[in-house]
């Protein structure tokens, strides 16, 4: 795989932000502040630029895309962020299996096997975990749930947004597993870690 998975630029009075990520690579980006970080992550996840921004994903200029092209690129990107995005009325299993149930693929048996394997890699017992609602899960557990859901249809670009935010020192010991598990499901995928300089 060659070329760039991501190229982003945004210039303001305060900052000149430029991010490049070769396809298949891993990059760690320390944004100057929370606002700059939010702009970057939002642009990537929505595949949409605001005035003053430039975004290229997998060789496609976001500014020139129509709705269908934008939708196709969004399907190739996933993020684990402080705003985890779980549905509060659904338990962990329902949140994880929702994409497969909605799209009709992959089979739920395959999703269950994947989920058991991913959770085991984090040292989590799946059966008790599956039945818990998001409010009954800790911060790390909610991130693991969202991450497992993403792996049902593994993205080509995985964004880890402030992955350590809200975690205890003990929980942070598990952070390296996210990238390792992602690589087992998407060996040639691209990984972007984003945080702010204040948090670095």
CATH of the domain at 129: 3.40.50.300
Long-range pairs, 65-71, Cβ under 8 A, ≥24: 70/46
d(CA 198, CA 150): 28
User: By residue range, what is the domain housing residue 167?
Assistant: 4-196
User: Is the pTM value of this prediction over 0.85?
Assistant: yes
Phi, psi of 156 (to 5 degrees): -80, -25
Q: What is the pLDDT of residue 1?
A: 47
d(CA 160, CA 14): 25
From 25-29, 83-87, 112-116, 119-123, the region with the lowest mean pLDDT? 83-87
Spatial CB neighbours of 95, under 8 Å, sequence gap ≥ 6: 86, 87, 134, 145, 146, 149
pLDDT in tens, 35-78: 999 999 999 999 999 988 999 999 999 999 999 999 999 999 99
Q: How many domains does the chain have?
A: 1
Phi, psi of 8 (to 5 degrees): -140, 140
- The H-or-E segment that residue 61 falls in is strand 60-61
């Amino acid at each position: 795989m060659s070329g760039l998975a991501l190229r982003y630029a945004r210039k303001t009075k305060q900052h000149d932000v430029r991010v490049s990520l070769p396809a298949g690579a891993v990059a760690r980006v320390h944004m100057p502040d929370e606002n700059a970080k939010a702009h970057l992550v939002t642009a990537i996840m929505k595949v949409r630029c605001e005035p003053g921004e430039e975004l290229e994903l997998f060789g496609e200029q976001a500014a020139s895309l129509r709705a269908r092209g934008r939708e196709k690129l969004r399907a190739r990107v996933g993020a684990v962020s402080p705003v985890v995005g779980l549905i509060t009325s659904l338990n962990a299993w329902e949140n994880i299996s929702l994409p497969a149930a909605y799209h009709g693929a992959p089979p739920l048996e395959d999703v269950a096997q994947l989920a058991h394997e991913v959770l085991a890699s984090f040292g989590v017992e799946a059966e008790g975990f599956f039945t818990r609602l998001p409010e009954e899960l800790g911060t790390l557990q909610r991130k693991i749930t969202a991450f497992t859901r993403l792996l049902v249809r593994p993205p080509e670009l995985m964004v880890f947004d402030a992955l350590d935010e809200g975690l205890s020192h003990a929980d942070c010991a598990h952070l390296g597993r996210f990238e390792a598990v992602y690589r087992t499901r998407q060996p040639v995928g691209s990984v972007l870690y984003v945080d702010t300089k204040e948090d670095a």
